[in-house]
Chain A
């Protein structure tokens, strides 16, 4: 006999209103149906009352954790339609803050995962380390999470040589701290018991179901939008982080190794940071035309479609967030696992439901 259990929208381990209708046979999941729509805010509709520049602050609020990358992608779109080329320094600064966002997002997620499988101490250590990144953000950009440094035409704040030195120093400390928690992730019995072999997504499945980001790379597909070289990524050397196994542990390790990668990218950016202007003047912009831009968020590929109609209000902004693409792969991971593993597997795609529903 099968039982149907609602998982979420309020669940102790998941701060996101993800609702899954789970069909169980004994303790084993046989089917899962997602129900979304609890936090729809209609942000895309705001284009009709907020003008081009004000929309930057609106799209930042699509997702708190990767706000900088949302604003960056939106600005890329508008600049693309207007045919503006922004100063090189601004490109670099945007990516520095984006990578800092990636670090704090992955650390936050790692903490939440540890919390989900009941390892409170790892959770607290991850968040303690994350606090260093938040400090950098607060001191350099002015706010902790939604840092509001992007604007159409460039960036709004600069990094002084002193600040760059300080960031480099913090990155060294961060790397040491990550080295300290690395043995826990690689050797610990608790971590392995709950994640290895749980929620397997094969390479073919990941590809066919359109997984993005660490969920895709954890299944062995080396696909990273940053490799297309948007923004300042074309000046940076890096390889996508890939793991083969496709289970929750592989996805964890992809994100953990991406932390080191992000540190490395920021170091390279600081080394290569050119001098120059922070922004170009954009006067009374009235974009006309449409464009699609992609970027890599901590959770995967983000897609923006922007259409301008020749006035200062855009006609349409369509946002496809990474979690939206990662829900079908999640449903493929769930059948066959135990009910107790559902929270860990659900978390392993790093769901961000608020940005999925916008």
Chain B
């Protein structure tokens, strides 16, 4: 009985352990694999990420100069980031927001990395 009273009183005065989620969000930890981005203008479209990805969610097309990831198939393992030769892929800690529609993250390269494209063309 004494235990219970003490617990009840303690619970009245202590901070809640839960959050009112959409209104109140927790600060993400740094270095969390939250979302995958590509700095497309530096990408050499080598296709290494597509080859190494265990869930086959990246599609690189050299012809149309596009790089596309299916954020709903990606498992956020970070393997592609480690294998990118020019380090243009990176992960950021805020998680992806919920969405009503599944939209692919499709990026089109406009200019491309100046020197490296030339080198590859020669």
Give chain B interface residues in 69-116, CB to chain A under 8 Å: 75-79, 82, 91
B79 neighbours in A (Cβ, 8 Å): 53-54, 57, 148
Number of A-B contacts (CB under 8 A): 40
B-contact 0/1 string along A127-144, CB 8 Å cutoff: 010000001001100110
Are A156 and B82 within 8 A (Cβ)? yes
The verdict on A358 contacting chain B, using a C-beta distance below 8 Å, is no
Residue of A nearest to B79 (CB): A57
Partner of B17, one of A58, A128, A135: A128
Determine whether A146 belongs to the interface, using a CB cutoff of 8 Å to chain B.
Answer: yes
CB-CB nearest in chain A for B29: A139
Q: A50-B54, A128-B17, A156-B82 are in contact. Are A148 and B77 (CB under 8 A)?
A: yes
Check A58–B33 contact: CB distance below 8 A. Answer: no
Looking at the complex, which one of B32, B54, B77, B82 makes contact with A139 (CB distance below 8 Å)?
B32
Cα separation A143 to B32 with both chains bound (whole Å): 6
Q: Determine if A53 and B52 form an interchain contact, defined as CB atoms under 8 angstroms apart.
A: yes
> B31 on the interface (CB 8 Å rule)?
yes
- Chain B 8-23, CB-CB to A under 8 Å as 1, else 0, gives 0000000001000000
Q: Which residues of A contact B77 (CB under 8 A)?
A: 57, 143, 146, 148
By a CB distance below 8 angstroms, the chain B residues around A128 are: 17
B29 touches A146 (CB 8 A): no
Cβ A138 vs Cβ B82 within 8 A = no
**Bound complex: CA of A61 vs CA of B82, how far in Å?**
20
Once bound together, how far apart are the Cα atoms of A207 and B17, in whole Å?
Answer: 43
Beta-carbon contacts of A50-87 to B below 8 Å, as 1s and 0s? 10011011100100000000000000000000000000
Given the complex of chains A and B, what is the CA–CA distance between A143 and B17 in angstroms?
Answer: 21
Residue of B whose beta carbon sits closest to that of A124: B17
B55 at the interface (CB under 8 A from A): yes
> How far is A56 from B53 in the complex, measured between Cα atoms in Å?
12
Chain A residues with Cβ below 8 Å from B76 are: 142-143
Say whether B78 contacts A142, CB under 8 Å: yes
Number of B residues near A (Cβ < 8 Å) is 16
The distance in angstroms between the C-alpha atoms of A219 and B83, with both chains bound, is 48
Give Cα A251–Cα B75 distance, bound, in whole angstroms: 34
CB distance from B34 to the nearest CB of A (A): 9
Q: How far is the CA of A145 from the CA of B32 in the complex (A)?
A: 12
* Distance (whole angstroms) from the CB of B4 to the closest CB of chain A: 11
Complex interface bits, A249-284 against B, C-beta within 8 A gives 1, otherwise 0 = 000000000000000000000000000000000000
Residues of A with C-beta under 8 A to B32 = 138-139, 142-143
Q: Name A163's closest neighbour in chain B (CB-CB).
A: B31
What residue in chain B is nearest A131 (Cβ atoms)?
B17
Give the CA-CA distance A142 to B52 in the complex, in Å: 19
Contact of B29 among A57, A138, A148, A156 (CB under 8 A): A138
**Contact code string B52-67 (vs A, CB < 8 Å = 1, else 0):** 1011000000000000
A280 CB → nearest B CB, Å: 15
Closest partner residue, chain A, to B28 (CB atom):
A138
Is there an interface contact between A58 and B54, defined as CB atoms closer than 8 Å?
yes
- B29-51 interface with A by 8 A CB criterion: 29-33
Which residue of chain B is the closest to A49 with respect to CB atoms?
A: B56
Tell whether A148 pairs with B17 under 8 Å between CB atoms, given A54-B54, A57-B55, A143-B32: no
Specify the chain B residue showing the minimal Cβ separation from A143.
B33
Which residues of A (97-151) have their CB < 8 Å from a CB of B?
A: 128, 135, 138-139, 142-143, 146, 148
Residues of B within 8 A of A156 (CB): 78, 82
Q: Which residues of B contact A143 (CB under 8 A)?
A: 32-33, 76-77
Which residues of chain B are within 8 angstroms of A61 by Cβ–Cβ distance? 75
Task: For A142, give its contact among B33, B54, B55 (CB under 8 Å).
Answer: B33
A54 with B52, Cβ < 8 A, contacts A128-B17, A138-B29, A142-B33 known: yes
Q: Are A142 and B31 in contact (CB under 8 A)?
A: yes
Which B residue's beta carbon lies closest to that of A180?
Answer: B7
5 residue pairs of the A-B complex, CB under 8 angstroms, read A54-B79, A139-B29, A139-B31, A142-B31, A143-B33
User: 4 shortest A-B CB distances, which residue pairs?
Assistant: A57-B54, A139-B29, A54-B54, A142-B33
Add 5 more A-B contacts to A61-B75, A142-B33, A148-B77 (CB < 8 A): A54-B52, A57-B77, A138-B29, A142-B91, A143-B32
